Amino acid sequence: MNLHPSAAAADQDENEPREECGVFGVWAPGEDVAKLTYYGLYALQHRGQEAAGIAVADGAQVLVFKDLGLVSQVFDEQTLAAMPGHVAVGHCRYSTTGSTTWENAQPIFRTTAVGTGIALGHNGNLVNTAELGARARELGLISGRLAGSLGATSDSDVMTALLAHAAADKSIEQAAMEMLPTLRGAFCLTFMDEHTLYAARDPWGVRPLCLGRLDRGWVVASETAALDIVGASFVREIEPGELLAIDADGVRSMRFANPEPKGCVFEYVYLARPDSTIAGRSVHATRVEIGRRLAAEHPVDADLVIPVPESGTPAAVGYAQGSGLPYGQGLMKNAYVGRTFIQPSQTIRQLGIRLKLNPLREVIRGKRLIVVDDSIVRGNTQRALIRMLREAGALEIHVRIASPPVKWPCFYGIDFASRAELIANGAGEGSFEDMVEGVRRSIGADTLGYISTEGMIAATEQPRSRLCCACFDGKYPITLPTEAAIGKNVLEGMLTGATETELLADNANASALSRP
């Protein structure tokens, strides 16, 4: 069942790359699995701030509680106390397919023809959603809605519907082994029925997913930092193309596809927590090493190295180490400016970045600054930041970026801007140097330097053949369909495009389905 939807959440800073989602699962009889999942999601909050949800099962039924907002806004002690069980899955969402509505919050719940409940959380983004959605519509599993409401319109809902349908005459495990090979794109899944926890990772391993051990159970999570917060010991990463089932018989591993590893390099640059480890490499150590390499590639005579907190901090530390220049905190971040249900007034909104960052004037006044940030997407944030630093008395501002120019959108779970909106595509004609000069002029920096792709990859200590760098080089490892068949609102378009007769027929079919 699902409990009380609420009002929509506020918009996030449109100039930042949007994270994907965080997933968490636990199988631990005798433990407070709802509270463990809450803490796990709290550790993964940076991966999605639009909605949060937890599903629990006690062997007899599956209970789902989800809502729009932060984990701490959705759940309280009373709610968690009303969710007993021995198995749970949790999810914190930023939408990459499907708009921000309560129906699209996760975990998604469906029932099979034999009455088994399935709750599923998904991190990533499929690229064959239109194809899967058409199949689900033909089977009567999803439908358009009249009166302007579409219900759930995410790729996660489609795959949950197809999984529940496949489980009509077979076990969830068998149904998953049948359904998972039909998915194309990035997916890390945690799902469950009344008894068993499942986890699956796409054959490319685009998004991270790991397995941890509790004294009395098991945990799966998007990042190792979530294992740490619940006291679980890291066991291993879930392999690309692997399905795990965890129940009273232990952990079972099945292979539904041959692995073709292409982990997202942007996880190292920005997405993952610095205290997480991916493919055996510390995210924090990677970012510090990127900073060192950035200092070697783009040195400049200056007085002080400062980060754009928090994501630019490790690279700024590395830059200071590599350059021998002093490191300082020139900007203070308001830790409580996250998502809010109170919209700022127009006057406050015009202040823009000042809601999040404020300069330490006595630190930066009269200084030649090296400002280190993780990436430039549209450039609006950097432009406002540089203006603010100059007003605070900085003599020179040299911007150094801990990733190459972002020139291509991501279709595997990061909601970047479109190609036309990415500043690196609109600044300068011709050479790479012309592009960098165009971006520099646009943001108002004295100099601008990006880490090279080779330097970034070397810092990860991973072979380039095992990394996806598509947002930097346009080489997509998973074949993309036509432009019309991908995009955040592909299912909304499919369902609203149906005729009224089709919608009525679909609604009649849907009424026969068991809904959460």
> What is the pTM for the complete model shown?
0.87
CA-wise closest residue to 303 among 329, 327, 332, 331? 327
301 is in an annotated binding site: no
Range scoring the smallest mean pLDDT among 75-79, 150-154, 316-320: 150-154
CA-wise closest residue to 187 among 171, 212, 204? 204
CB 245: neighbour CB atoms within 10 A? Answer: 20
Range scoring the smallest mean pLDDT among 88-97, 396-405, 499-508: 499-508
Cα–Cα distance measured from residue 259 to residue 251, given in angstroms and rounded to the nearest whole number: 20
Backbone phi, psi, residue 196, to 5°: -125, 145
Counting every residue written for the chain, the total comes to: 516
CA-wise closest residue to 19 among 204, 208, 220? 208
374 is in an annotated binding site: yes
What whole-number percentage of the chain has pLDDT above 90? 74
Q: Which domains occur in the chain, in start order?
A: 22-261 (3.60.20.10), 282-460 (3.40.50.2020)
Predicted confidence band at 497 (pLDDT cuts at 50, 70, 90)? very low
Range scoring the smallest mean pLDDT among 204-208, 268-272, 315-319, 420-424: 420-424
188 is in an annotated binding site: no
Predicted confidence band at 494 (pLDDT cuts at 50, 70, 90)? very low
156 is in an annotated binding site: no
Q: What is the pLDDT of residues 300-357, one digit of tens each?
A: 999 999 999 999 999 999 999 999 999 999 999 987 765 444 555 666 655 677 888 9
Predicted confidence band at 421 (pLDDT cuts at 50, 70, 90)? confident
Q: Is the pLDDT of residue 155 over 60?
A: yes
157 is in an annotated binding site: no
pLDDT of the residue at 356: 87
Task: Give 55's strand partners.
Answer: 64, 89
Q: What is the pLDDT of residues 216-272, one digit of tens each?
A: 999 999 999 999 999 999 999 999 999 999 999 999 999 999 999 999 999 999 999
Predicted confidence band at 14 (pLDDT cuts at 50, 70, 90)? very low
Q: What is the pLDDT of residues 352-385, one digit of tens each?
A: 778 889 999 999 999 999 999 999 999 998 999 9
CA-to-CA separations, 1 to 54, 159, 169, 268, 491, in angstroms, rounded: 11, 19, 23, 37, 24
Q: What is the pLDDT of residues 430-484, one digit of tens each?
A: 899 999 999 999 999 999 999 999 999 999 999 999 999 999 999 999 999 875 4
- CA-CA-CA-CA torsion sign (298, 300, 305, 308): negative
410 is in an annotated binding site: yes
469 is in an annotated binding site: no
Q: What's the mean pLDDT in 31-44?
A: 97
- Torsion region of 244: left, alpha or beta (phi above 0 gives left; psi -120 to 50 gives alpha): beta
CA-to-CA separations, 250 to 196, 216, 218, in angstroms, rounded: 10, 11, 9
Give catalytic residues, as residue numbers: 21
